[in-house]
C-alpha cells in the first residue's frame, strides 16, 4: 500500500492527494490538478474542507 498525504495548493487552495515517498521532504514539485500550479510540499497549505479531491472523499 502506498503512503499518501493530503495537500492544499497555495494558489487555488484546491486539495489533492500525493504520494509521501515521492514528494514529502523531496526536492520535487507537485502539480495541482485544478490550476496546474507547480509547488513543493513545504509550500503547500493546510487542506480546506470543501475544496478539491479531499472534499469529495469526505462528502456525504
Is the residue at 59 inside a domain?
no
Write the DSSP string, 4-56.
EEEEE-TTT--EEEEEHHHHTTSS--EE-TTT--EE-GGG-B---TTSHHHHH
Query: Is residue 39 situated within a structural domain?
Result: yes
pLDDT digits (tens, 9 = 90+) for 1-23: 789 999 999 999 999 999 999 99
- What are the pLDDT digits (tens) for 25-48? 899 999 999 999 999 999 999 876
- Number of domains the chain is built from: 1
Mean pLDDT of 43-57: 65
Give the range of the structural domain holding residue 32, as residue numbers without chain letter: 4-49
Q: Is residue 44 part of a domain?
A: yes
55 within domain boundaries: no
**Between 36 and 50, residue with greater pLDDT:** 36
Q: Are 8 and 15 in contact (CB under 8 A)?
A: yes
Amino acid at each position: 500500500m502506498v503512503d499518501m498525504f493530503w495537500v492544499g495548493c497555495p494558489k487555488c487552495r484546491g486539495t489533492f492527494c500525493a504520494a509521501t515517498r515521492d514528494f514529502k521532504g523531496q526536492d520535487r514539485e507537485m502539480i495541482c490538478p485544478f490550476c496546474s500550479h507547480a509547488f513543493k510540499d513545504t509550500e503547500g497549505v493546510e487542506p480546506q474542507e470543501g475544496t478539491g479531491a479531499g472534499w469529495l472523499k469526505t462528502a456525504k
